Amino acid sequence: MGAYKDSVLFGTLLLCFFSGTFADSPCAARKIAKKSVVCVCNSTYCDRITKEPLTAGQYVVYKSSESGLRFNKTKANLQPVSDSGSGYTLLLHPQTTFQTVEGFGGAVTDAAGINWKNLSASAQEALINSYFSDYGLQYNMIRVPIGGTDFSTHPYAYNELPVNDAQLSNYSLTYEDFTYKIPMIRSAMQAGSTPIHVIATTWSPPPWMKSNHAYTGHSRLKPEYYQTYADYHLKFLEKYTAEGIPIWAITTTNEPTSGLVGFINSINNLGWTSGSMGSWIVNNLGPTIRNSTFKYIKIITGDDQRLTLPYWVNLLIAEHPKALDYIDGIGVHYYTDFLTPAAVLSEVGKSYPDKFIIATEACEGTMLFEKHHVDLGSWIRAKKYLIDIIDDFNHGVVGWIDWNLCLNVQGGPTYISNFADSPIIVFPEKDAFVKQPMFYAMGHFSKFVPRGSQRISVTQKVGCRHSVWNVAFITPKGTVVVVLYNDGKAIKVTIQLGGNQAVVEMEANSVATVEIMSN
Ligand SMILES: *[C@@H]1O[C@H](CO)[C@@H](O)[C@H](O)[C@H]1NC(C)=O
Ligand SMILES: *[C@@H]1O[C@H](CO)[C@@H](O)[C@H](O)[C@H]1NC(C)=O
Ligand SMILES: *[C@@H]1O[C@H](CO)[C@@H](O)[C@H](O)[C@H]1NC(C)=O
Ligand SMILES: *[C@@H]1O[C@H](CO)[C@@H](O)[C@H](O)[C@H]1NC(C)=O
Ligand SMILES: *[C@@H]1O[C@H](CO)[C@@H](O)[C@H](O)[C@H]1NC(C)=O
C-alpha cells in the first residue's frame, strides 16, 4: 500500500514538473441557438477531463446539462444517513451484482478515418485523445468494418477479383485500411491506457459470393461459398493482426435481416435467415475459427435490431443448438429501440445465461423524416443516448458501441447519402472539430465504468413526485459508480450506501456520474 502511494505521488510530481498537461481544461463552449452547447477543439486547444482521485469516505460528482455544464466536478465527504433529507432517495446494494462490463467505444469507419485525416496532425491527436486517453472518455472498444459500408466513398470488399475465387487467392487489404482505418486504430491503441477490444464486422462480401451479384439489395450467400465466407473472416483476422491490430471479436454479419428485406434499403448487406446463419456458424465459421490460431476470438451473432432479437436468435438456436458451442455473445443495434422494450434483452439473457449481450451500433439522425442529420448542440440526442444506455445496462447489456467516431457537418461521407449525426463533427476548413452533447453522454459511462465493473442493484425510496433514470456499478477498484439522468425539473437526489449518503443536486435535463469510495 505504501509503495503504491509513493508511486502515485512520484507520478504526479513528474507530470507536474515536466508539463502539467494532465490538468483539466474547460469546454470552449459555443452556444447553438435554441440548443445546448458544443465544445470546440482545434490544433492548440481542446477540453480535458481527469478523474478525481478519491480517499475513503469521499465522493465526486461529475455533471453535464442542457444548460451547458460539461463534466463539472465537485468532491465531498459522505455523511451518515439522515432521514431529514427531502427529495428523492436511491439505495445502492453493492453485494447484489449482475453482468460484468466489457466496455464502451465507437466505430472506425472509412468516413471516420477520412474526416480525421482531414485535420492537422495536432488536431488529429486531440480528437483521438478526446475519445481514448485518460483525460478523454477512456473508450476501450472499437468496431471496425471488414471492407466497406455505407459510410465509405464507394462500395467494396476484399478479393473482388478474380470472381468465383473460392480459395480467396487475391485477398489483400485496401487503400482505406492503410490510409484511414489502421492508422486511426493504431493511434487509439497508443492513446489509451487499457487494451482496446476491437470487434470486426462484414457488411457485404464481394458480389460474386452473393445470390444477387451486388453489394446492396435482397441477397443471400451462395451455398457453394459458405466455407469461403468463413475463410474470408479468418483472412481478415490474419491481415489485421499482422498490422499490429489484434481483433477481440467478430460478428456474424451486420444486420443480417436487412438483406432479407433488401428492397427497402440500399446499405451494403448480406441477408441471412436464422436457419442458414445457424448452419453457417455450426458447419463453417465456428469450426474454422476454433481450429485456427484465432480460436479465442469471440463470436457475436445477432448484430441486428433489438426488434429481431427474440425471433431471430431464438430460432437460430432452436434450429441449430450446436451453434451455442461457438457463439460467445449476441449483438444488438439501437435503431428500433423505441419500438421494443429493453425487457426482451433480459428475456434473451435468461435463455442463454452464459452468452453476453452487447450493443454494437447506435447513432442519431439517419431517419428519413429527420430534417437535420447533423443537429449541432442537440441535447435531445444526448438524452436519447443516456436513457438508452441506462436502460440497456439495466437489462443485462455488457458494452455499448457508438457508430462513426466522427463525421463532417453534412453527416458523411456516405456514398449512398445515408447521412447521420456523430458525437464529433469535423470542420476541416477551420482545422477544428466540435464535441456534441452526445459525446459527453457517452463519456458519463465510458470514463467512469471501466472494464470488469459489475452492475449492482439499486432500489428507490418512495415519496417523490418524479424519479431519475439510474444505473449503478461496482468497479474493480471497489468504488461505486452511479449514473443518473434527470429528465424533469431540478431535484435533489440522495444516494445511500451502507450507513452513509451522498447528495446530488441535479438541475433540469442533466446527467450526473457519482463515484463513491466508501471505505
Ligand atoms: C483554438 O481554440 C482556442 C480556444 O478556443 C483559441 O483561443 C485559439 O485561437 C484557437 N486556435 C486556432 C488556430 O483557431
Ligand atoms: C461548476 O458548476 C457550477 C454551477 O453549478 C459553477 O459555479 C462552477 O464554476 C462550475 N465549475 C466549473 C469548473 O466549470
Ligand atoms: C487482385 O486484386 C486487385 C485489386 O485489389 C486487382 O487489381 C487484380 O486484378 C486482382 N488480381 C487478379 C488475378 O484478379
Ligand atoms: C476442427 O476440425 C476438425 C476436422 O477438420 C473437426 O472435426 C473439429 O470438430 C474441429 N474442431 C472444432 C473445435 O470445431
Ligand atoms: C476535407 O477537407 C476539405 C477542405 O479542407 C474539403 O473540401 C473536403 O470536402 C473534406 N472532406 C470531407 C470528406 O469532408
Q: What number does the ligand 1 atom closest to the CA of 28 have?
A: 5
Q: What pLDDT, on a 0 to 100 scale, did the predictor assign at position 464?
A: 62
Q: What pLDDT, on a 0 to 100 scale, did the predictor assign at position 475?
A: 98
Measure 332 CA to ligand 4 centroid, in angstroms: 29
**For each successive 10 residues of the chain (519 residues), what is the average pLDDT?**
33 37 86 97 98 96 98 97 78 98 98 98 98 98 98 98 98 98 98 97 98 95 98 98 98 94 80 97 98 98 94 95 98 95 95 97 87 94 98 98 98 96 98 98 98 97 78 98 96 95 97 95
Please give the angle made by the CA atoms of 348, 351 and 356, to the nearest 5 degrees: 60
218 vs 234: CA distance, rounded Å: 25
Q: Which one of 283, 290, 320, 326 would you pick to mutate in the ligand 4 pocket, going by the greatest count of ligand atoms within 8 A of its CB?
A: 290
Residue 238 among the catalytic residues:
no
Q: What number does the ligand 3 atom closest to the CA of 158 have?
A: 5
Of the listed ligands, the closest to the CA of 147 is: 3
Q: Which one of 41, 45, 70, 430 would you pick to mutate in the ligand 1 pocket, going by the greatest count of ligand atoms within 8 A of its CB?
A: 45
Instruction: Name the catalytic one among 66, 102, 176, 361.
Output: 361
Instruction: Give strand pairing partners of 432.
Output: 42, 427
205 vs 158: CA distance, rounded Å: 7
Alpha carbon separation from 12 to 6, 7, 50, 436 (Å, rounded): 10, 8, 13, 31
Report helix, strand or coil for 10. helix
Torsion, Cα of 321, 325, 328, 332 (10° steps): -20
Instruction: Name the catalytic one among 102, 255, 364, 515.
Output: 255
65 vs 379: CA distance, rounded Å: 8
Would the CB of 505 count as within 6 Å of ligand 2?
Answer: no
Give the residues surrounding ligand 5 with Cβ less than 6 Å away. Answer: 114-115, 118, 408, 413, 428-429
Where do we find the cell 496532425? 121
* Predicted structure pTM score: 0.94
Measure 87 CA to ligand 5 centroid, in angstroms: 51
Where do we find the cell 442493484? 457
Measure 439 CA to ligand 1 centroid, in angstroms: 20
Give the residues surrounding ligand 3 with Cβ less than 6 Å away. Answer: 161-162, 170, 172
261 vs 267: CA distance, rounded Å: 11
Report helix, strand or coil for 272. coil
Q: What share of the chain is helix, strand, coil (3-state, %, to 5)?
A: 30, 25, 45
Q: Which one of 289, 291, 299, 324 would you pick to mutate in the ligand 4 pocket, going by the greatest count of ligand atoms within 8 A of its CB?
A: 291
298 vs 313: CA distance, rounded Å: 17
Measure 287 CA to ligand 4 centroid, in angstroms: 5
Of the listed ligands, the closest to the CA of 288 is: 4
CB 73 within 8 A of CB 52: yes
Residue 255 among the catalytic residues:
yes
End-to-end CA distance of the chain: 15
User: Residues 278-281: contacts with CB within 8 Å, 24+ apart?
Assistant: 278/316, 278/317, 278/319, 278/320, 278/323, 279/226, 279/320, 280/221, 280/226, 280/229, 280/230, 280/252, 281/252, 281/316, 281/320, 281/323, 281/326, 281/327
Measure 429 CA to ligand 5 centroid, in angstroms: 7
Q: Which one of 39, 42, 122 would you pick to mutate in the ligand 1 pocket, going by the greatest count of ligand atoms within 8 A of its CB?
A: 42
Give the residues surrounding ligand 1 with Cβ less than 6 Å away. Answer: 28, 40, 42-45
Q: What number does the ligand 4 atom closest to the CA of 286 have?
A: 14
Q: What pLDDT, on a 0 to 100 scale, did the predictor assign at position 260?
A: 87
What's the CATH fold of domain 6-99+453-517? Immunoglobulin-like (2.60.40)
Residue nearest to atom 3 of ligand 5 (CA): 428
The structural domains of the chain, with segments of one domain joined by +, span: 6-99+453-517, 102-446
Measure 373 CA to ligand 5 centroid, in angstroms: 18
CB 440 within 8 A of CB 434: no
Q: What number does the ligand 3 atom closest to the CA of 161 have?
A: 14
**Structure letter (DSSP) for residue 177:** I
Give the Cβ contact number of residue 400 at 10 Å.
28
- Sequence-separated (6 or more) residues with CB below 8 Å from residue 295: 289
Would the CB of 72 count as within 6 Å of ligand 2?
Answer: yes
Class of domain 102-446: alpha beta
CB 432 within 8 A of CB 40: yes
Q: What pLDDT, on a 0 to 100 scale, did the predictor assign at position 85?
A: 57
